[in-house]
Amino acid sequence: MKKNNAPVKREISIPKKRIFNLILVLIPVLLFVVLEMVLRLFHYGDDFSLFIDHPDAIYKQYKVVNPDIGAKYFQRLKYTSPARDIFLKEKSGDCFRIFVVGSSTVVGFPYDNNLMFSRILQERLQDAYPDKKIEIINTAITAINTFTLLDFMPRILAEQPDALLIYAGHNEFYGAFGVGSTEAVSHNRTLIRLHLRLMHSRLYQALRNMISGIGKALSKDDSSSRGTLMSKVVRKADILYHSEDYRKGIRYFESNYSAMLRLAKKKNVPVFVSDLVSNIRDIRPFKSISTEENKAAVDFYNSALEAERLHDFQKAREYYMMARDYDCIRFRASEDINRKIRDLAGKHKATYVHTLELFESRSPNRIVGNNLLTEHVHPNIEGQFLLADAFYQSITGSGIIAEKVNEFTVKPAAYYLNSYGYTELDRLVGFHRIANLKYHFPFRDETKEYIDYRLIYKPVSFLDSLAFTVMASKEISTGDAHEELGIRYEAQHDYVNAFREYNALVKSNPYWPVFYRRAADCLINAGDLPLALRYYNRSLTYQESFYAWFRAGEIYLIRNDLLTAIRYFSKALELSDKDNDRLKVLVKLYIAYDYLDDKNNASGILKSIQRINPEIIINVPPRGYYYASYIPLQVKPYIDQAYGFMAKADLKGAEKVLLESLIVNDSPVANRLLGEIYAKNNELPRALFHMQKVYDDFNTDPAYLHFMVVAYINHHLQDEAVRCLKQLARIAPDYPELAKLQAFVQHEPAQ
């Protein structure tokens, strides 16, 4: 029998098979992990954290919105950076933190950061709630939509927000990942969201960059060619009303928006969602296409014009809205999107902000047009303040910060429009940006002869030329232009206008202490010591400064608040590193101690002075109260006119001009005069209101305290009268009327 030499086939056990299969799976996974670690080790790729530690040493306790976060969403086009708002890493107990999400309207286009509605809102809320630290962090980027906003949400909710504000929806079709966008890796919502998650992997970024590089090499498209971001972001322009692409865009909007609200609700974060405003009257449909199902948008627009001509304004408004909705170039959100926002707010218990209703109430015949918008969707300056007002009314009305606003520090909306940090330069820069925008798609057909606004416009003044240069070139920013104008006005001793330019810089860069100091210097020269003091103190929030401590100390010295002045001068002394600076501070300290009749400290200070300059002779001016004599130049004509009326015993005339002045500058001197006028008219509640408003400004003025003691007693408020009497005794123990006032208060029965 022939021997069989064939090998024996051995069966591999099931456990071994499983181990073998697991190894086969783990090898590529392990390879990916190793590659990922190597790429991170060599710092390849981008950190797509929404918030990062602030890179500057003086802001080490803050986080900042990542200036490069846009790279995550824009691969083909240049992206804009967010406003770089900062917030404390360790949230303080008195902090109320608000995050704002949206796109170009929320960025403040066509203006700079000073006119973002979030900056205006922050100022208003801080005045309404002075005992809180209001943080508002604007995360908006131009040309994004709810795919990006939903991607932001987990990172925002991780930063302990107290509220979230949403103004979004105009970019749903052409913003990054929209159905008509150039920046679209897919048109499937699940794949888009997967892509955004994978973008945090360096390996995935490498693959994306490789594919992108090959695509750019093969493509003839040049994303850096002429045109605006608005024109470049569009891949598929024509999206007809109720078409499949239209319905998909609306579905994605609803899904993303709903997911955002669910995430916030899960974390118990209150959300304020606004409907959207667009220019329906003065923007004709960008493109009209009629079909068997759809009437041409321009036909609705012409019907609206005819209805308005016949004064049928309700019908005109309806036709204008239909013209917008049937416009097949979708840079304006349709009524369907506003309806979704309303429905989702109700479903998820979010606060619905009636912004459109407010804009309509301020528009002729309730039809929004160029009166409040610069073009199709972006508010003009008045519109930015109105947008801030819509959110302000909703937030204060909700009571989420505090049950009530502070009646002494809250100010009307008109005050901010008059006194906030912007100037004519901002208006002109915005004008030129919009004028340039309108020379591009969709405002004109870019396939026809190209006209470059930057080459044809001829400036008509120095200011216009400066604004035009800001728009037309990269050589000078709006901030540079404001600074140039501020220096120019200072050289002309026009301190009011110099302050306005520096104040615009303060609002554009509210975390930069240097602009607060420059603005405060101008305010001192303009006679506005209270506001100057506020600005010096704000600068100290972000940077210790010899100069700010010293100048603020001088104001406290003028205000006769000697103990606070000494504290500020002592801080300045700690920071001084030059004999000349030390000498200036020591002299002021000597004067303050002399006024307090503190001979021991005065003697010690004098010895320190003489060690620096043995020959010095110090002339101590007579102690007096001069603070009330400083009148801000912005309201001096009003105050002078009021004094004139009072000299003629025309208290009504004086009251009228003083109230007008408060809308320009809520000055302590005007409030004090109003208090005195109302007291003379026996209107004690109104008198006390205005006098109490300025307690912190005048509580070291004996005459003011005398008035308050008498007013409180006459109003049967003995505890307040006693408080003011004690303050008077502390700051002016030799006051001639002190004994009479003490007897007067003691004989008043307690209520």
Q: Does any domain span residue 311?
A: yes
Q: Does any domain span residue 629?
A: no
Claim to verify: residue 382 and residue 263 sit in the same structural domain? yes
pLDDT digits (tens, 9 = 90+) for 439-469: 999 998 777 788 899 999 999 999 999 999 9
Q: Cα angle vertex 602, ends 596, 606, to 5°? A: 150
pLDDT digits (tens, 9 = 90+) for 312-352: 999 999 999 999 999 999 999 999 999 999 999 999 999 99
Q: Does any domain span residue 603?
A: yes
CA–CA separation, 96 and 551 (whole Å): 30
Claim to verify: residue 155 and residue 256 sit in the same structural domain? yes
Host H or E run for residue 77: none
Q: In the listed set 561, 580, 612, which residue is the last one of a domain according to the structure?
A: 612
Q: Does any domain span residue 360?
A: yes
Claim to verify: residue 360 and residue 319 sit in the same structural domain? no
Claim to verify: residue 485 and residue 397 sit in the same structural domain? no
Claim to verify: residue 317 and residue 339 sit in the same structural domain? no
Q: How confident is the model at residue 521 (pLDDT cuts 50, 70, 90)?
A: very high
Q: Does any domain span residue 25?
A: no
pLDDT digits (tens, 9 = 90+) for 43-92: 666 789 999 999 999 999 999 999 999 999 998 888 899 999 999 999 99
The reported pTM is 0.91
Claim to verify: residue 396 and residue 433 sit in the same structural domain? no
* Total domains present in the chain: 4
CA–CA separation, 86 and 122 (whole Å): 13
Claim to verify: residue 562 and residue 691 sit in the same structural domain? no
Q: Cα angle vertex 168, ends 166, 174, to 5°? A: 155
Give the structural domain span for 667: 635-746
pLDDT digits (tens, 9 = 90+) for 408-441: 999 999 999 999 999 999 999 999 999 999 999 9
- The residues that bridge with 138 in the sheet, in sequence order, are 100
Host H or E run for residue 79: none
Tokens encoding 593: 């101690």
Claim to verify: residue 337 and residue 321 sit in the same structural domain? no
Q: Does any domain span residue 57?
A: yes
Q: What is the longest distance spanned by two Cα atoms in the chain?
A: 143
pLDDT digits (tens, 9 = 90+) for 464-484: 999 999 999 988 999 999 999
Q: Cα 101 to chain center, whole Å?
A: 12
Q: Does any domain span residue 507?
A: yes
* CB atoms near residue 259 (< 10 Å): 15
Q: In the listed set 579, 612, 645, which residue is the last one of a domain according to the structure?
A: 612
Amino acid occupying residue 500: R
Claim to verify: residue 445 and residue 380 sit in the same structural domain? no
Q: In the listed set 552, 580, 612, which residue is the last one of a domain according to the structure?
A: 612
Tokens encoding 262: 């669910």
Q: Does any domain span residue 43?
A: no
| Residue 597: CATH number of its domain | 1.25.40.10
pLDDT average, residue stretch 176-197:
88
Claim to verify: residue 183 and residue 199 sit in the same structural domain? yes
Asked if pLDDT for residue 560 goes beyond 60, the answer is yes
Claim to verify: residue 577 and residue 658 sit in the same structural domain? no
Claim to verify: residue 312 and residue 269 sit in the same structural domain? no
pLDDT average, residue stretch 130-158:
97
